[in-house]
A and B are shown apart, each in its own frame.
Chain A
Amino acid sequence: MKQKLRPLEVIMNVLFLLCGLVAIVFVLFISIYLILSGLPAIREIGLADFLFGREWASTAAEPKFGILPFILTSVYGTAGAILLGVPVGFLTAVFLAKIASPRLAGLVRPAVDLLAGIPSVVYGLIGMMVLVPTVRELFHLPDGASLFCAILVLAVMILPSIISVSETALKAVPREYEEASLALGATHIETVFRVSVPAASSGIAASIVLGIGRAIGEAMAIIMVAGNVANMPGLFQSVRFLTTAVASEMAYASGLQRQALYSIALVLFLFIMLINVILNTLLKRKKG
């Protein structure tokens, strides 16, 4: 009986191994490809001119390839989204994990899950048709497409990841901690914020980093609301992110312009790698 099973087990082992390798292969392939195709343009333009150049005019008679406006826009946009999204997301997570009655939580949680499932192009479309005109009229701007709209869209988009990861972390706090706190006479809210939240802090931090990763990598939703002009960022300026810089010009790009787009993708990739390293460090600290 035992011997009969063995070949099947070997086969299944190999199959599992192959499946496990798929992710590694893709990550390696994408990394190598991006580095190889991103470096030539950086070498031609010059690293300092590329990263710190304030002007992008890729098809001009005298082309300029400075991506500082894109980098700053991505940083500001992500920071803005975190600033708006984290308080809301964190408090929602606290509410779901510790305060809401099971029935109410059962109503809110699926809504959050649904929010996560909405395709980014839908966020973009609604942003473009509803948010942009509203912002234009509310702030008396000539045109609503701006960094501000992008921040609002991103803030909503990162909510689900912040909520669900924070909630998981809060729920993982051992019941004894809270019971001890309550037994010492602390109120429920005091217990939540003085005991549960600190105990779950690294998980909550991880959720924020996850939100940053999502916001900085988003392209489709913000290409429709940000205006996509290579301006230095301002709250009500038409701006272009690192992601949208690649997406908007790729279709008809050629020569150095195309190579420079790969270089932008490489910069973006490095940003995301950095964020993942931070995330892993946070998670490891929790483990240790």
Chain B
Amino acid sequence: MATTLKRIRIAFAGILALAVLVGLVVWPSGPDLKLFGMDKQLKIHEGLDLEGGSHLVYEADMSKVPKQERKDRLDGAVDVIDRRVNALGVSEPLVQANQSAGKYRVIVELPGVTDVEQASKIIGATVKMEFREQDPKAKPDPKNPLSGYAKDSNLTGADFKRANVGFNQQTGEPEINITFNGAGAKKFAAMTRRSVGKPIAILLDGAIISAPRVSQEISDGNAVITGGFQVQEAKDLALQLNAGALPVPVKQVEQRTVGPTLGQDSVQKSLAAGLIGLVLVAAFMILYYRLPGALAVLALLLYTGIMISLFKLIPVTLTLAGIAGFILSIGIAVDANILIFERMREELRDGRSLPTALEVGFSRAFTSIRDSNAASLLMSAVLYTFGSGTIRGFAVVLALGVIISLFSAITVSRTLMRLAVRTVLANKPALWDVVRTDGAAPEGGKRA
């Protein structure tokens, strides 16, 4: 018995330590985490439906792109859109590729941006990039700078990888390095071989933005444009090139914009509603289950703290549906406790002593808790797999809730109860509700 008590005390100390940790993380002005060189900002990440902002989805038209190239093109489009979004100056934007059911999409999230007309024009602009060589047969027309070049070209934005600004090692002048992808490098090599000593025009949407002269054949796909640039000029040109080459045309297919007032209003109302619900549940638990109920409420508080800490630490982006999932998971956490308490009561009515009833109640209730929570986890997995955006957030929160509630009921509640049955509290039956005789008794009045 002594060792058991020791174990319970160790478990209790562990729970206390956890509570302190959780308190530190949950505390609004708590310190940011600096561990093992990790620097993590501790805050709740709000989804766009709470914070206000725009969620945009673009679909890439891959009909003319061979299957094996599609993934690369999509990644290229994400890079380009990412650069365009950064040029907009939005704080904490998110740009990510999304492939589902044979569709290739780019998801863009712009926190705080509600007027997306401008942003959408820039993001989705299908700027066409081309590299054209001179056409010896064409008659140059001084009024039309394009007239000296070939009518079209097979070297386009799809072959372009990136441009960046560098500095010439001898002269110190700024220069622009252009990199082509594998296919582009071959085409560019052929073009430069034909054009030594002649200019190659770089066109965006049919207008020449630069026409550097080729000094030698470039076969490795890495070109350098030098030409007395100012630093700012070079940067602008690189930016134009980078942002210009969307490797595949995209079209906006979905937009969800929430104004900041609606989001904040919903957050406050829903959190207040959650709090009211929680208080009602706590009152019910204490009134109906007395001391065990009160201990379960303590465990529930810790559960809530752990969940909020996880939201901050993982971090989980909290959406309105996520808040609903969280509040729902409190219901599930309570359920595990109720299952155990009801089982305990039955054991008490069968005449077992308090500590025995506690242990037997916990172990008998366990299979029910395990099987029923497994079903909830299965549903979360289905929702996560097939859901998008908000539904995924809901599924993640629900799944986390189920797992943490198991810990809360099985470890935290049990330890608190084990400790309580070994104190003077155990001598007061009214606290444990042994006196009540309603509920089910075995049929025929006989005890099983």
Q: Do A and B come from one complex?
A: no
